Amino acid sequence: MRVESLYVCHFRNLEKQEVKLVQGLNELIGPNAQGKTSVLEALHLLIIGSSFRTNQLRDLIKHGEKAFLIEARVNISGVEKTIALKYDGERRSVTLDGELQETTSSLLGNLLGVTATPEDQELIFGPPALRRRFLDEQISQIDPFYLDQLKRYSRALSQRNRLLKKKEFHTMSAWEEQLAKAGAYIVQQRRATVDLLFPMVQEAYHTLFPYREKETLCLKYTSQPPLAEKEVEAWYINQYASRRDYEARVAATLIGPHRDDIEWSIQERPLRSLASLGQARSAALALRLAEWKLLFNRSHEEPIFLIDDFESSLDAERRSFMLSTCASFEQTILTAHALQDEKSSRIELRYTQTSGGIGFRQLNELAGMGMHPITKS
């Protein structure tokens, strides 16, 4: 699986531009604030349907414009597909091969990918919601039913919390049944995913830190219900019923997958209390490599791999390892201040000025024939 071209229109600081990508390693190079991360963000949007930098799509529309458009031509095992996302400030619309889709969730499963950013250290230091989101995005790419259950769970949770606030118990059991059924599936899939990721994360971590091969880096999904899968749904139903009076006083549902977490530990001690920023970034990068491998194993298609700010928090030895690893993937796209690999396809981002003094970004591909603009009007 690979992206052959990406077209962006009025996205972040990018005007109307197309960038051509190749199989193997692609490098977006240039100084800070030149739009490198915006290109990765556009690709991430086509993978997941959301940004890794903001929850507000309105922030992604170029200043002074009313909408943005992102379109990618993708090659999946020799079959070409066109994926597009448009946002006009109010509505998102998705098209696949020119056909308008009913929901934006139709994006998921078309372009598989993993995105590694410097902020991934928050997967160790940050709040549980970030780790739950990591799992939800990973599983949703290959399991449409999981995404459906997430939506059902969110809707039922909102309704139960509303009823708790009003202390209206007479219709609550119907919502609790939906919560329990959807919640049980979510927990089961998250547990299974973490169990599969754990040995892959440990292997990648020891490759990044070979001198720490005796250290045990553990990844564990922490949840409240019993481990037996058949018992989870009934356990939730009993808990919801028995806790209504207490939870009505706080107007919130206090148990369920929305309260779960991933626990990191090293030598049986919490990683967040021991890790340096560099070590946390490396542990998170090991998680991203494991995520790529698991997506590949589950889908039998090689996901694309995106890395933002490649030089950040990685020393020369680990950068060398990552470059050799990424070169083995069908397609990797990374951002950096300077060229990392002479054999890669290079795309340079430069800031130019129009005659009216209004800035715009122009992407240039360095393909051995000199630098030339790739701008789509």
Pick the CATH number of 1-112+301-377 from 3.40.50.10860, 2.60.40.10, 3.90.1150.10, 3.40.50.300: 3.40.50.300
Q: What is the pLDDT of residues 341-377, one digit of tens each?
A: 888 888 887 666 553 322 334 455 544 333 333 333 3
Q: Does residue 347 contact residue 366 with C-beta atoms inside 8 Å?
A: yes
pLDDT at 51: 92
CB count in 10 Å sphere of residue 185 = 22
For the chain, what's the residue count? 377
CB count in 10 Å sphere of residue 214 = 7
pLDDT at 13: 85
- Beta strands 113-116 and 304-307: pairing type? parallel
Helix (H, G, I), strand (E, B) or coil at 55: coil
pLDDT at 353: 56
Take residue 183 and report the two structure tokens written for it: 């919640």
What does residue 267 show for φ and ψ, rounded to 5 degrees? 55, 40
pLDDT at 15: 83
The CA distance from 364 to 346, in Å, is: 9
pLDDT at 362: 40
pLDDT at 377: 30
Domain ranges of the chain: 1-112+301-377, 120-300
Take residue 215 and report the two structure tokens written for it: 């250290």
Look up the pTM and report it: 0.89
| Segments in the chain below pLDDT 70 | 313, 350-377
CATH 3.30.70.2740 correct for 120-300: no
DSSP H helical segments within 209-329, as ranges? 229-242, 244-250, 277-299, 316-327
The CA distance from 49 to 290, in Å, is: 22
User: In terms of C-beta density within 10 A (0-12 exposed, 13-18 middle, 19 or more buried), how is residue 155 classed?
Assistant: middle
